[in-house]
Amino acid sequence: MHELASSIAKLDTDDMGPLALYVHWPFCVSKCPYCDFNSHVRAQVDVAVWEAALLTDMAYEAAQVPGRKLSSIFFGGGTPSLMPPALVAKLIVAAERHWGFADGIEITLEANPSSVEAANFEDLAQAGINRVSLGLQSLDDQTLEFLGRAHDVEEGLAALDTAQQAFDRVSFDLIYARPSQSLESWSAELQRALSFGTDHLSLYQLTIEPGTRFETLVRTGELIPADDDHMADLFDLTRNLTTAAGLPAYEISNHAPLGQESRHNLTYWRYQDYVGIGPGAHGRRLESATERHKKPENFLSAVARNGNGLKVEQPLAPETRAMEALMMGLRLAEGVPLEALEAKTGLTIAHMLDAPAVDQLAKLGLLTMTDQRLTISAKGMPLLDALLPKIIADI
């Protein structure tokens, strides 16, 4: 009887799909003018205090979602490459103890491409990191200065070379659609980036986020963003060049050959369960949303007081989960599997989608819909933000 119960329990947890862990390290050397992430500059960081807090926060989450192996871990920030490798190792060991690891687990760390942080890459690999995501952001020194980056191109490419020697998988970020950026200059920069031989690229159009320094400059007329038509041309160029190089877009801003996609980020986009620890970290687990306190000091106080850093922990209505799943899944080239979404939410497709709008957009070639899947077309993808409110029913 005990063996039968264990087998049933194993089937239940296995059938729930992959579980991912996100760890947020909130500290940066400086704040970039385009960044709206939860990042903070502090003169000193007490590593021992943060180790204890993150381990306690992790233990709380492990108790909420037991018996499911981790398919991925992602250290984000902030600048997690500023974390001591010994702390990274302790967090990885604790995660394996709490949940266990699926075969071939992906463990990613975001890193700034500075020489100081690159010096830790070998130790981070020894700690268990097997994939790194480098914030190169540009291959032009003047642009890096404009973006507020602390490294130059030479230092960034040296860090990339070190990363490719230390880690099995390497990705890096570039920001394009910058003010006054021409098609010709972006084409040359992207082709150079593709020549470095990484298996993944994250290519983001510059967006002006509320509360950032760039928003202030736009409001005062000191910064003029690229116009929509030019951004669309840059988007098409990006897709054409990456596809020709064997790194097609599998998500609106992410490019990789088959099998080299970010497994952790696919968990988000496919609306599968993930737990988040550390300041400001979000989670989606067991049909509930979680959010940690954002300010580092408030997070530490909450952990000391409650044994976790939670600010919000609440169940999500089926309608909310359907909306989130559509908003995330339609970013993917593979689209959203409709039967699976119905099974996950208990709602019908007719309840989730605005059928007349979907039909109209399909006739315009902006999406395709079958009984099995809803997919945004290549033509529709640059218009995704405008399409989503039309597609998703008012639920």
pLDDT digits (tens, 9 = 90+) for 15-45: 567 799 999 999 887 767 666 667 788 878 9
Sign of the Cα torsion 172, 133, 233, 257 reads positive
User: Could you tell me the two tokens for 51?
Assistant: 């180790």
Distance CA 254, CA 3 (A): 44
User: Could you tell me the two tokens for 364?
Assistant: 């315009």
The DSSP code for 56 is H
pLDDT at position 116 is 78
pTM for this one? 0.91
Burial class (CB in 10 A: 0-12, 13-18, 19+), 192: exposed
pLDDT at position 31 is 64
Phi, psi of 101 (to 5 degrees): -110, 135
pLDDT at position 383 is 94
| Residues in the chain, total | 395
pLDDT at position 395 is 56
- Of the candidates 116, 114, 112, 127, the residue with the CA atom closest to the CA atom of residue 166: 127
| b/e map 112-125, b = 16+ CB within 10 Å | bbbeebbebbeebb
- The vertex-238 CA angle with 237 and 241, nearest 5°, equals 85
* Digit-coded pLDDT (tens) for 84-141: 999 999 999 999 999 999 999 999 999 989 877 889 999 999 999 999 999 999 999 9
Q: How far apart are the first and last CA of the chain?
A: 45
What CATH number belongs to 2-269? 3.20.20.70
- The vertex-296 CA angle with 293 and 297, nearest 5°, equals 95
Residue 1 binned pLDDT confidence (cut-offs 50, 70, 90): very low
- Domain spans, the chain: 2-269, 336-391
Strands 70-77 and 169-176: unpaired
pLDDT at 65 over 90: yes
DSSP output for 57-104: HHHHHHHHSTT--EEEEEEEES-GGGS-HHHHHHHHHHHHHHH-EEEE
Question: Could you tell me if 18 and 272 are in contact, meaning their C-beta atoms sit under 8 angstroms apart?
Answer: yes
Distance CA 288, CA 293 (A): 17
Distance CA 330, CA 274 (A): 19
pLDDT at 346 over 60: yes
Report the share of the chain in percent with pLDDT over 70: 94
Q: How many CB atoms lie within 10 A of CB 63?
A: 11
Distance CA 111, CA 164 (A): 13
